Structure 1
Amino acid sequence: MSYRTDRVRIVTLVKRKPGMTREEFHKYWAGTHRELFTSLEITKKNLLKYEQAHTSDAALKQMAEAFGVPIMESEWDGIGVCEAESYDKILEIFHSEEFQKIAEPDADNFMDRPRCQLLPLGVITVIDK
């Protein structure tokens, strides 16, 4: 087992704010927040990759039926992935004045931050097509 030395990831399990529908959450996160976050100079400079994975009720139903398991709504509404050369590069973003003035306050418009979960991850690439 060997971890990649050229990158790390921080995955955030994201929960929408109370009172917001799943559709409103997905639209806001994929639109307004994505545009704000990716417009930051520090984000452009420090990230190698930023991805959002949005939950799908229709796919959940199909997968549960295919595997013969009960349909259980996830605690999470999506997963955000930040990939950079080091954890320090990611932390620079979140500690930057630019992020704290622009993107951080916007997060309260769509996410329940106290209920989100961060996972700093070392990366082992197994299949990469």
Structure 2
Amino acid sequence: MCSNTTSDDLLPCPTHHTHPYHFSELELGSGSNQQPYFRALVFFNKKPGLTDEFFHEHWKSVHADLTMQVEGAGLDLVRYVQFHQEFQHKVSIEPLLEASGGTMQIAPYDGCAEFHAESVEKFVGFMKNVYASSHLLMCSGCGTRFVDLVKGYNVMVGYDNLIFGRGIPGVGSDAILAEDTRLNMRSEGKQTKKAAQRKKVDSGTEEAETGNAE
């Protein structure tokens, strides 16, 4: 008995190879806009007994200052970002959690430190310096005073595949941009407005770069 089943029918998504692309740059074989840096996300929680206010203020001030003093910060890192999740943010996202029907939940963390480096080796080298720093982690360092070390840190590492937006200036490459006419905008007026705003921003950036060059 003959079967009409194809190899694509056996895939989790049967249109994996036959999907009609609206954005040709995302097609299989070309749909990668990997940014040229290694990225690490370090998730953690505040130490029990601390107030949210102290945790977030201390992390963005004292701890940030000590981190930037670590050997190699200006050589091994391309970017360091703190992602703060406060109580009001958890409350504001509840409508989305309800709309998901229980399939989406708040990540159980208070913060995430994001690092970009030229390579995993440079990131590891920098973090080894962090762990060797008496000001940050060793013994009674800053990190031991506001981070829950019982739960510890959770790390996610890899790369950014940029789909929409501009790359980091001087580092990454742009992706699909807001003024792209292929985007399904709610109205033509909104699309025109966003394009005008983007043009204004780009113009200001170019003027600033020209001024710096002079």
TM-score (norm 2): 0.53
Q: Is the Cα–Cα contact under 8 Å of residues 136 and 144 in structure 2 kept in the other structure?
A: no
Q: Number of paired residues?
A: 128
Q: 1:29-68 maps to which residues of 2 (within 5 A)?
A: 29-65=59-95, 68=98
> What displacement does 1:5 show?
5.9
- Structure 2 vs 1, CA of residues 8 and 73 (structure 1 numbering), >3 Å: closer, same or farther? closer
Unaligned runs of 5+ in 1: none
SS in 2 for 1:103: coil
* Bigger strand share: 1
Q: Does 1:113 align with 2:146?
A: no
* Bigger helix share: 1
Query: Could you say what the CA RMSD is over the residues aligned between the two structures, in angstroms?
Result: 2.4
Q: Is the Cα–Cα contact under 8 Å of residues 76 and 122 in structure 2 kept in the other structure?
A: yes
83-92 vs 98-107, which deviates more? Answer: 98-107
- Structure 2 distance, partners of 1:97, 1:28, is 17
> What displacement does 1:97 show?
7.5
Q: Does 1:101 align with 2:128?
A: no
Q: Aligned AA for 1:107?
A: G
% identical aligned pairs: 20
SS in 1 for 2:72: helix
> What displacement does 1:65 show?
3.1
Highest CA radius of gyration, 1 or 2?
Answer: 2
SS in 1 for 2:93: helix
Which of structures 1 and 2 has the larger relative contact order (alpha carbons within 8 angstroms, sep 6+)? 1
> What displacement does 1:67 show?
5.2
Unaligned runs of 5+ in 2: 1-30, 167-214
